Structure 1
Amino acid sequence: MPKPEYMKLPAVLAEIEMSRAAFYRMRARGKAPRLIKLPNGQLRVSRADLDAWWAAQEVAA
């Protein structure tokens, strides 16, 4: 079974073309992809979660 891919937040922001501030506002409203906080405090997003979020955005539009 392949290892899940986790993306750093700057890579996610670049892919969705969004500023960090806008992302956190969206996250506060519960509309952003799920974040995973590592023990060292860094944030990651699962590639699968990001892809699912993208698909949900296409359906909502």
Structure 2
Amino acid sequence: MNAVRSEFAELIRERCLSVADYEGLTSVEFESEAELYLYLGDMFEHLFGDGRAKPVPPS
């Protein structure tokens, strides 16, 4: 689990995933990279941080 946390944190920190990349992997489309990384940061906190509610991706 530490490896997943570490890699996820690095992905967020380095912003190496584009909106198009994420959409290709998940079929979920974000309007901007800022929106994508806000979502990914919230997901990181949900999984590894304070246990906040699971973020909802755009529909």
With normalisation by structure 1, the TM-score equals 0.35
Q: Which is higher, the Rg of structure 1 or of structure 2?
A: 1
- Structure with more of its chain in strand, by fraction: 1
- Structure with more of its chain in helix, by fraction: 2
With normalisation by structure 2, the TM-score equals 0.36
